[in-house]
Structure 1
Amino acid sequence: MSNDVVGGSGDAKAPGDVIAGGSPGRPRLDRLVFSATAIGALAFVAWGVLDHEGLAAAAGTAQKWVITNTGWLFVLTATAFVFFVIWLAISRYGRIPLGDDDEKPEFRTVSWIAMMFSAGMGIGLMFWGVAEPLSHFVNPPPHTAEPGTPAAAETAMAATLFHWTLHPWAIYAVAGLAIAYSTFRKGRSQLISSVFRPLLGHHADGIGGRVIDMMAIFATLFGSAASLGLGALQIGAGLEFNGWVDGIGKIGLVAIISALCVAFVLSAVSGVARGIQWLSNINMVLALLIAAFVFVAGPTLFILNILPTSIGDYIESLPTMASRTGAGDEAMKAWLSSWTIFYWAWWISWTPFVGMFIARISRGRTVRQFVTGVLLVPSVVSLLWFAVFGGAGIFEQAEGGGLTEADGTVDSNFALFHLLDQYPITSVTTVVVMILVAIFFVSGADAAAIVMGTLSERGSIEPSRKVVIFWGAATGAVAAIMLVIADSDNLGGALAGLQALTTVVSLPFLVVMVAMCVSLYKDMRDDPLILRMDRGVQLVEVAVDKGTELHEGDFALVTESSPDEPDVADVPETLSLDKGEPASERT
């Protein structure tokens, strides 16, 4: 893309308000942002290599502090984001286009929805598709239902949908809407810091804005690393399940991540068209095939029945789930730290990546269209996915067991493989799952590295290859460290390392997102479309008052040109209310 200023009504374009490449005459790489974040990432990796026990202890202590002292903040803000974006959509701000006033959507609705569908898929859905509903079924949230009962099945699906539908996508919608509005409506550079110009003014281009971009890079780095870590755990579980290795310890996980990072580098150097797009197309086909297989080979009727039941249970339980905290309840606090708060932290850490993606494909949409699409389309995808995989897992466990471990717990790494073992051609489907997760790993690292490269290079949408490869390799290294700091040398213990660091690192960016909402509202309040609407209301109100006074309510509304910009109080008396008279009778 060229370095032209992207159009849109609104404030004048400052020197830094370009979409790609930064300001003319300046180096594209922001040395301060890149150097500070690169040093921080390398320092973290070095800490993990030299003293992984010390890093593990620090991460555990920090996670406990975050859960105890700010768990309420995660719970409150996640729900607030849902209300905020829905309010924007149904209010007068919903009419604002993400572009020029007369600009048409860049992509057709069908294509836009298809791309939104692809954004809703990933390693997370593969890893948790069976594991989360099954975990809640055999071990429900505290004070909810008895394990293994029909009530537990309903609770399991409701809790899963709570974690994967409206709340996460409202979090993404906040960032995506703010970036799209700032970029396409205001014509600013595609940086997180540019969103904060209404709050920071010119400081958004200075040290204050750069700190925000650094925080966004760190959030993306650790959030992406957590996803890659989940992918490595599931691939390792597949290798064990198929009997190809006796056991996957920390060294095995690092080896898996290293091999996939090599694949990422090859993808990155191949170019976007042959890299990300080619892999994404394969992802979609394989994901749909494996879902269709489970739907047909599994308990089809039970899956169809659990769809409407899950929606009803989710809606009924939503107020309770959205307000749960661990106040005075250690059991609930432990459950929230492993599930809800971890998820909110994970989604928040992904907002720079997903926000930029959905912003990029939504140019020309109105705010109302954007919010409706972002909230509903991925939520429907998640509903269908968990109904198929979660419903099948719950059914098989209730009927004959075999999906849990000897102690009755669910090993999240093996849950999907245990389910596939109940159906034909297990040797084929388990290999397909590992291939699918590996491709998600590579394409996810590729896309996240591009976002971090964009933030490192003053908003360039085509960052240099060297920077992209660096951030991809750094993501893999951080993922490896997050896995090895766990306190046990097995797949189950490694998950704790991912959850601890993801929760801690996301806290600063949570504060950034709250400020992002304030900045977006200030921006939209001064939008030309809103100002014209306000002006129109003022003029019509004065005209109605004067028309009623002069003509006793029987008058028409006409307009006339004025050489000056009149004050509202000086509106001509001929400006009046149209009561439906024929045009020939109007005065």
Structure 2
Amino acid sequence: MKKVTSVFWISLAISAIFVLWGAFAPTHLGEVSSDIQGFLTSKFGWFYLLSVTVFLVFSIYLIFSPYGKIRLGKPDDRPEYNKVTWFAMLFSAGMGIGLVFWGSAEPLAHFATPPQAEPESVEAARDALRYSFFHWGFHTWAIYTVIALGIAYFKFRRGAPGVISATFKPILGDRVYGPIGKTIDVIAVFATIFGVATSLGLGASQIGGGLAFITDIENNISTQFVIIAIVTVLFMISAWTGLSKGIKYLSNTNIVLALGLILLTIILGPSVFIMDIFSSTLGSYFQNLPIQSFQMAPLTSDYNEWIQGWTVFYWAWFIAWSPFVGTFIARVSKGRTIREFVTGVLLVPSLFSMFWFAVFGGSSLKQELDGVNTGLTDLATESALFGTFESFPFGIVLTIIAIVLISTFFITSADSATFVLGMQTTNGSLNPPNVVKLSWGVIQAATAGVLLYSGGLGALQTASIVSAFPFTIILLMMVWSLSVALKEDHQKMQYQQESKESYQQSS
């Protein structure tokens, strides 16, 4: 425990207080959190929307900017992982459980209760997939791009500690080592805990939903607690094995299972419809991207409430999730150029996510529109995917594969998060002590449990929105700091190149 910093002890103490609050006064916790969430979404929904759009614009700029050739590390450093493994780790850490949970459920929700179209109409189905593409596309991965790039740049190029506060050195100077820096890191730890806890809670409820479909097990809070307990033991075993073994193997397993589930769904499902709807929705997504990026619908109260409940929640959830995803992506991206890094993190997972929704959301909507399975919209959110499989040939096989996939995603996300939390609370150590990782594993599981206990899915959403607000400000400042650092280093590179050319000419 010699490596731990004061950030560890402060964060651990406050986390323990929160868990005890949720355990002994769940109703009070739910009420307080809901009040804060209501205030933030009604007063600052625009802030989340504009901030995430800034992250996207900045990311796209970096691809085409002169900074794209700068390498995340020394000039002769090369990537530690090949592209396939790298993409697998990006996808597993960044989307995992959320994609499986919402793949059918979100399009069905927009189909049943659209913000503008007639419910359960062809137009509602068309819009449902476009909204899903928007929520899981470029904006989401721009959040991860910004924070991952900031951490990787300062860690591998400037030799700074791999903590969030270290990325502010260009604008804060030595103050990053004092109370301001510690505050930034503590906020990052809490955003990570709540972001990951939200995903763990979703995973537990969906595993329970899948088991309820194929067995007599009831999907209640007790079942979900047992699932969390079992998976906690499994991801702690994985965390103990270290990054190169546990997470690497699990990430590759996730990709194999995910691709297998996609291929089987396309083969057994409406394959032509899936490909057609993917192509047409992708075009509609790009066409409407500028409008949706800024849309708050202040003159249409129902649409405004829908944006707050869906888009604002998602942006907040992904921002809360971003310290974990960003730190993890940074850790596995040493040696790549900024252009390669941003293109890989922003484009590939976004397009994969959109295709995922076309496959599973498209299959669900096709059943509803054709009258094959018109009860899908009445199912609980965590059961929508399994309800879709029910009318497929070999549907039970697809359900079992999906449950296994959710479980491996669950383990990978929690495993990665324990590593990231350990790294953030040991001054950026790339090999945090196992006892630190295990401590955060227990806290994560306990937080997910008390959130489910105090209000289920609603409490998970509330926690994400509340914890993300201060971290959004930190991310905006990170964009500023990274811009300053890139400009400084680019000028140095230009000067060195000019000096080299001048020397060669004179000699």
- The reply to whether TM is greater than 0.5 is yes
User: In the alignment, does 2:484 pair up with 1:522?
Assistant: yes
Alignment partners' CA distance in 2, 1:442 and 1:110: 20
- Structure 2 CA distance, aligned partners of 1:532 and 1:505? 39
- CA distance in 2 between partners of 1:333 and 1:64 (Å): 13
Shift of 1:525: 1.3
Instruction: Kindly indicate whether residue 286 of structure 2 is the aligned counterpart of residue 312 of structure 1.
Output: no
Deviation of residue 164 (structure 1)? Answer: 0.7
Q: Is 1:418 paired with 2:392?
A: no
Tell me, yes or no, if the aligned pair for 2:210 and 2:383 is still in contact at 8 Å: yes
Q: Distance in 2 between matches of 1:224 and 1:403?
A: 33
Question: Which residue of structure 1 aligns with residue 126 of structure 2?
Answer: 154
User: In structure 2, how many angstroms separate the alpha carbons of the residues matched to 1:535 and 1:264?
Assistant: 47
Greater helix share, structure number: 2
What's 1:478 paired with?
447
By how many angstroms is 1:109 displaced? Answer: 4.2
User: 1:431 maps to which residue?
Assistant: 400
Q: Compare CA radii of gyration and give the structure with the larger one.
A: 1
1:505 paired to 2:467: yes
Contact 1:82 1:166 in 2 (8 A): yes
Greater alpha carbon shift after TM alignment, 227-236 vs 265-274: 265-274
Change (3 A) 1:88 1:271: closer
Alpha-carbon shift at residue 256 of structure 1 (Å): 2.1
Q: Does 1:335 align with 2:306?
A: yes
Q: Partner letter of residue 282 of structure 2?
A: I
The letter of the residue matching 1:305 is D
CA distance in 2 between partners of 1:385 and 1:91 (Å):
31
Q: In the alignment, what sits opposite 1:560?
A: 506
Q: Secondary structure at the match of 2:219?
A: coil
Q: 2:8 aligns with which of 25, 30, 34?
A: 34
Residue 208 of structure 2 aligns with which residue? 236
- Equivalence for 1:531: 492
| Partner SS state of residue 189, structure 1 | coil
Q: Match of 1:67, as an amino acid?
A: T
Contact map agreement 2:418 2:438 (CA 8 A) in 1: yes
User: What code does the residue aligned with 2:479 have?
Assistant: C
Equivalent in 480, 495, 501 of residue 457 of structure 2? 495
Distance in 2 between the 1:107 and 1:437 partners? 24
1:354 equivalent to 2:325? Answer yes
| Residues 49-76 of structure 1: per-residue CA shift (max 9 Å, x gap) | 1111111110110000000111100000
- Cα distance change on mapping 1:373 and 1:168 into 2, 3 Å: same
The answer on 1:92 being equivalent to 2:66 is: yes
**Residue correspondence of structure 1 range 321-332 to structure 2 within 5 A:** 321-325=292-296, 327-332=298-303
- 2:427 maps to which of 458, 464, 470: 458
Contact kept? 1:198, 1:522, Cα under 8 Å: yes
Question: Counterparts of 1:437 and 1:539 in 2: how far apart (Å)?
Answer: 54
Q: Displacement of 1:410 after TM fit?
A: 5.2
Give the match for residue 224 of structure 2: 253
Deviation at 1:539, TM superposition (A): 13
| 1:286 corresponding residue in structure 2 | 257
3-state DSSP of counterpart to 1:526: helix
Alignment CA distance shift 1:59-1:307 (3 Å):
same
Name the CA shift for 1:97/1:281 in 2 (closer, same or farther; >3 Å).
Answer: closer
Given that 2:327 and 2:420 are in contact with CA atoms closer than 8 Å, whether structure 1 keeps it comes out as yes
Alpha-carbon distance in 2 for matches of 1:445, 1:57: 27
Q: Which residue of 1 aligns with 2:248?
A: 277
Q: 1:150 to 1:193 in 2, by over 3 A?
A: same
- Contact persistence 1:179–1:355 (CA under 8 A): yes
Aligned match of 1:170: 142
Rounded Cα–Cα distance in structure 2 between residues aligned with 1:109 and 1:440: 20
Counterpart for residue 295 of structure 1: 266
Q: CA deviation at 1:366?
A: 1.8
> Given residue 56 of structure 2, which amino acid in structure 1 is its aligned partner?
V
2:57 is aligned, of 76, 83, 87, to 83
Q: Which segments of 5 or more consecutive residues in structure 2 lack a partner in the other structure?
A: none
Aligned residues: 507
State percent identity of aligned pairs.
40
Which runs of 5 or more structure 1 residues have no equivalent in the other structure? 1-25, 487-493, 544-557, 562-587
Query: Distance between the aligned counterparts of 1:311 and 1:130, measured in 2?
Result: 17
**CA displacement, residues 137-182 of structure 1 (integer Å, 9 cap, x when unaligned):** 2222x22x22222222221111111111100110000001111110
Distance 1:433 1:367 in 2: 35
Partners of 2:186 and 2:349 lie apart in 1 by 28
Report the TM-score, using the length of structure 2 for normalisation: 0.94
Decide whether aligned partners of structure 1 residues 469 and 296 sit closer, same or farther in structure 2, where only a CA change above 3 A counts: same
When normalised by structure 1's length, the TM-score is 0.82
Distance across 1 between alignment mates of 2:250 and 2:76: 35
Look up the SS of the partner of 2:463 in the other structure. helix
Is the 1:338–1:499 contact (alpha carbons within 8 Å) kept by the matching residues of 2? Answer: no
Which residue among 36, 46, 65 is the counterpart of 1:62? Answer: 36
1:435-462 per-residue CA deviation (whole Å, 9 max, x = no partner) reads 2212211221111011001111111111
Relative contact order higher in (CA < 8 Å, ≥ 6 apart): 2
Equivalent pair of 2:85/2:252 in contact (CA under 8 Å):
no
Secondary structure of 1:339 counterpart: helix
Matches of 1:181 and 1:390 in 2, distance apart? 37
CA-based RMSD of the aligned residues comes to: 2.4
